[in-house]
Chains A and B, each alone.
Chain A
Amino acid sequence: MSEACVGLLAPGVAVAPLFGALVEALATHGYVQGENLRVAWR
Chain B
Amino acid sequence: MSALAVRPAITATAEIPIVFVAVGDPVGFGFVASLERPGGNVTGLSDLVPEAAGERLELLAAVMPGLRRVAVLRSPLAPPVASLEGAARTLGVTLIPVDLARVEDAETAFDAVRAAAPDGLIVVPNPVSLALREQIVAFAAAERLPAAYGYREFVEAGGLLSYGADVSDLYRRAAGFVVRILVGERPAEMRVERPAAFELALNRRTAAALGLAVPDALIGRATIIQD
Contacts and interface: CB of A to CB of B under 8 A. Distances in A.
Interface of A: 2, 4, 6, 8-15, 18-19, 21-26, 28-29, 31
In terms of DSSP, what is the predominant structure of the interface of chain A?
helix
Interface of B: 1-2, 4-5, 9, 21, 102-103, 127-128, 130-134, 167-168, 171-176, 178-179, 182
A11 B4 contact: yes
A11 B175 contact: no
Given A9-B1, A14-B133, A2 B175 contact: no
A11 B171 contact: no
Contacts, number: 68
A18 B168 contact: yes
Contacts of B4: 11
Contacts of B134: 14
B172 A11 contact: no
Contacts of A11: 2, 4-5, 102-103, 127-128, 131
A9 B4 CA distance: 9
A10 to B, nearest CB: 6
23 contacts: A4-B178, A8-B1, A10-B127, A11-B102, A11-B103, A11-B131, A12-B130, A12-B131, A14-B131, A15-B127, A15-B131, A18-B171, A19-B171, A21-B168, A21-B171, A21-B172, A22-B178, A24-B172, A25-B172, A26-B175, A26-B178, A28-B175, A29-B179
